[in-house]
């Protein structure tokens, strides 16, 4: 592949930074990844990624992209105890208070602890001859050209030492949602990107439990997206052969308590008893961990009229959303593909091209996660007619998809970022939604066996 520069610097070595560095490694002689944490010797959660203690699963699109970037990666994760799963057949998805009917699909996701997923990406990346990593390296700010029209490098402190300059042809910020890019840009005379913030105040509480192969009838995950009346949500995911991870919580301070009995009672208030049954009866394998997810946050870099050359922002530093649909790592993977495309074109305005394509890719997961949050009556945010219609329609689709695997899989293809949202408005899908709502319920009533959570 054509080399377009000597040196690229990536700030942050979590999933976003690692995948961005992989994309850059095809185009720069050397890529340096600066991470303020130290990398753990074993695949265990680390301080810089506090969400790593909580349930993480990789959607189909994310798995495919990472596999393409690092061939054989899925097998390596599986060899470390992870598991492939058919997202439509092996996972119970509950949204709008009902369970989607399960059936085989080509949506192959990957389940393993967050640390295992990241650890395998990190090791594969650091094997590349032109990638180097510096741990304990905390980036303090940017170095700009005279007149601040371009970024020339970063100021970094390594192991608490004095600040030093490191120059580069490109700097990419993947430092997560706490990214200082808006402030750094402001210091250089640029305006901050517009921020869209949808406050949800979700407190997730997490615990690991002993897993038996017969649990959940062999299914490997339950995912509950919040819905009325209590809006509680969360996930129970396969972590390894003998371990489940359960992360559950509610909006605006309605966190699940970190007390065994109260946690079980809370799990019992979800619209399925499957998580409760494990929490109440299985052996706990960890203490409780908690995470407060305050708000969906999107920084609109694509709308800035002025932006310095040789600088990019990536992953959660651009956008992070309610993690219940498990989309963050997949969005980072998708952005890595878009970054490769933008670099391959090797023209001017790299940032403009990258941010505008990333923004289109972010629209779908943002609309799914934030759209569902906006159904909650206390969540503040604009609800234009389009959002109201989509939420109404997706609710109807879920009702029909309790019995219709075609509809269930169509929804999951969109949620897994494998199909665009308009695919759900295809006339054949709309017809099935109408049919399912008009006649499905009638059929249930005739059969006198209404089932809220049919599988």
Ligand X SMILES: Cc1cc2nc3c(=O)[nH]c(=O)nc-3n(C[C@H](O)[C@H](O)[C@H](O)COP(=O)(O)OP(=O)(O)OC[C@H]3O[C@@H](n4cnc5c(N)ncnc54)[C@H](O)[C@@H]3O)c2cc1C
Under the criterion CB under 6 A, does residue 223 sit at the interface with ligand X?
no
Edge-to-edge strands of the sheet including 137-144?
137-144, 151-158, 163-167
Q: Does 181 bind ligand X (CB under 6 A)?
A: no
- Looking at 32-40, 91-99, 305-313, 354-362, which segment touches ligand X (CB under 6 A)? 32-40
Q: Which of 7, 9, 10, 14 binds ligand X (CB under 6 A)?
A: 14
State how beta strands 28-35 and 98-99 pair: unpaired
Please select the residue that binds ligand X; options are 8, 16, 94, 366, rule is CB under 6 A: 16
Contacts with ligand X, 377-416, as mask; x by CB under 6 A: ----------------------------------------
Shortest distance in whole angstroms from residue 90 CB to ligand X: 15
DSSP 8-state class, residue 249: E
**Can you read off the two tokens belonging to residue 10?**
């990536």
- Quick note: the x/- pattern for ligand X over 48-77, rule CB under 6 A, is xx-x--xxxxx-------------------
Query: What residues contact 212, with CB distance under 8 A and at least 6 apart?
Result: 242, 282
Considering the complex, state which of residue 135 and residue 454 has its C-beta at the smaller distance from ligand X: 135
Q: Looking at 183-191, 323-331, 382-390, 435-443, which segment touches ligand X (CB under 6 A)?
A: 323-331
- Tokens coding 216: 């959940």
| Rounded least distance, CB 388 to ligand X, Å | 27
Q: What DSSP element (H or E) covers 1?
A: none
What is the separation of C-alpha 259 from the centre of its chain, rounded to a whole number of angstroms? 28
Residue 15, interface with ligand X (CB under 6 A)? yes
Residue of 8, 28, 31, 35 that binds ligand X (CB under 6 A): 35
319, 362 contact by CB (below 8 A): yes
8 A C-beta contact, residue 131 and residue 18: no
**Among residues 238 and 433, whose Cβ is nearest to ligand X?**
238
Q: Which range, of 7-15, 80-88, 350-358, 360-368, touches ligand X by CB under 6 A?
A: 7-15
Closest approach of ligand X to the CB of residue 252, in Å: 16
Query: Nearest 5°: phi and psi at 193?
Result: -70, 145
Among positions 34, 221, 338, 429, the unique one binding ligand X when judged by CB under 6 A: 34
Stretch that binds ligand X, among 131-139, 256-264, 379-387, 436-444 (CB under 6 A): 131-139
Residue 151 binds ligand X (CB under 6 A): no
Q: How many residues appear in the chain? A: 455
Q: Name the one range near ligand X by CB under 6 A: 304-312, 314-322, 404-412, 422-430.
A: 314-322
The answer to whether 206 and 43 are in contact (CB under 8 A) is: no
As measured in angstroms, the least distance from the Cβ of 393 to ligand X is 25
CA distance from start to end of the chain: 48
| 333 near ligand X, rule: CB under 6 A | no
Q: Is 245 in the site for ligand X (CB under 6 A)?
A: no
CB 312 within 8 A of CB 350: yes
Judged by CB under 6 A, the number of residues near ligand X is: 39
Q: Which stretch binds ligand X (CB under 6 A): 133-141, 305-313, 383-391, 414-422?
A: 133-141
Tally: H helices and E strands in the chain: 13, 19
Per-residue mark of binding to ligand X, 276-295 (x: CB under 6 A) = ---------------x-x--
Q: Give the sheet arrangement for strand 233-240, strand by strand.
A: 98-99, 91-95, 221-224, 233-240, 243-250, 195-210, 289-299, 319-320
37 counts as binding ligand X under rule CB under 6 A: yes
Q: Give the count of beta carbons closer than 10 Å to the beta carbon of residue 381.
A: 16
Q: Is 315 in the site for ligand X (CB under 6 A)?
A: yes
Cβ(188)–Cβ(144) below 8 Å = yes
Interface with ligand X, residue 199, by CB under 6 A:
no
Q: Please list, in sequence order, all residues whose beta carbon lies within 8 angstroms of the beta carbon of residue 137, skipping any fewer than 6 positions away.
A: 34, 35, 36, 156, 157, 158, 159
Query: Which residues contribute to the site for ligand X (CB under 6 A)?
Result: 11-17, 34-37, 48-49, 51, 54-58, 137-139, 174-176, 204, 291, 293, 315-317, 320, 323, 326-330, 332
């Amino acid at each position: 592949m054509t080399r377009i520069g000597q040196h690229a610097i990536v700030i942050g070595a979590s999933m976003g930074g690692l995948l961005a560095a992989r994309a850059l490694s095809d185009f720069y002689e050397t890529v340096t990844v600066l991470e303020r944490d130290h990398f753990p010797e074993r695949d265990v959660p680390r301080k810089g990624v506090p969400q790593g203690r909580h349930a993480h699963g990789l959607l189909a699109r994310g798995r495919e992209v990472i596999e393409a970037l690092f061939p054989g990666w899925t097998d390596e994760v599986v060899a470390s105890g992870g598991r492939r799963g058919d997202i439509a057949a092996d996972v119970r998805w509950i949204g709008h208070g009902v369970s989607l009917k399960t059936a085989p699909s080509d949506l192959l996701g990957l389940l393993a602890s967050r640390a295992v997923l990241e650890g395998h990406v990190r090791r594969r990346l650091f094997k590349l001859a032109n990638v180097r990593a510096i741990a304990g390296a905390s980036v303090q700010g940017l170095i700009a050209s005279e007149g601040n029209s371009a970024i020339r490098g970063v100021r970094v402190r390594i192991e608490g030492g004095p600040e030093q300059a490191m120059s580069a042809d490109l700097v990419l910020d993947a430092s997560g949602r706490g990214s200082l890019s808006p402030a750094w840009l402001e210091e250089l005379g640029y305006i901050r990107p517009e921020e869209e913030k949808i406050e949800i105040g979700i407190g997730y509480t997490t615990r690991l439990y002993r897993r038996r192969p017969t649990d959940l009838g062999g299914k490997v995950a339950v995912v509950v997206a919040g819905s009325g009346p209590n809006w509680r949500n969360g996930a129970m995911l396969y972590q390894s052969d003998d371990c489940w991870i359960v992360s559950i919580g509610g909006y605006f301070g309605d966190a699940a308590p970190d007390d065994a009995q109260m946690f079980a009672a809370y799990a019992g208030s979800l619209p399925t008893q499957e998580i409760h049954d494990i929490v109440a009866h299985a052996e706990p394998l960890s203490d409780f961990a908690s995470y407060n997810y305050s708000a969906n946050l999107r920084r609109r870099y694509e709308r800035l009229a002025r932006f310095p050359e040789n600088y990019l922002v990536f992953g959660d530093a651009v956008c992070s959303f309610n993690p219940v649909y498990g989309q963050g790592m997949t969005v980072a993977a998708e952005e890595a593909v878009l970054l490769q495309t933008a670099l391959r074109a090797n023209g001017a305005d790299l940032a403009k091209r990258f941010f505008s394509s990333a923004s289109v890719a972010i629209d779908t997961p943002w609309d799914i996660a934030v759209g569902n949050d906006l159904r909650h009556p206390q969540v503040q945010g604009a609800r234009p007619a389009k959002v109201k219609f989509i939420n109404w329609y997706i609710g109807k689709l879920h009702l029909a998809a309790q019995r219709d695997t075609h509809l269930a899989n169509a929804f999951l293809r969109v949620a897994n970022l494998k199909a665009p949202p308009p695919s759900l408005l295809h006339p054949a899908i709309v017809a099935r939604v109408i049919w399912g709502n008009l006649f499905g319920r009638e059929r249930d009533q005739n059969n006198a066996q209404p089932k809220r959570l049919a599988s």
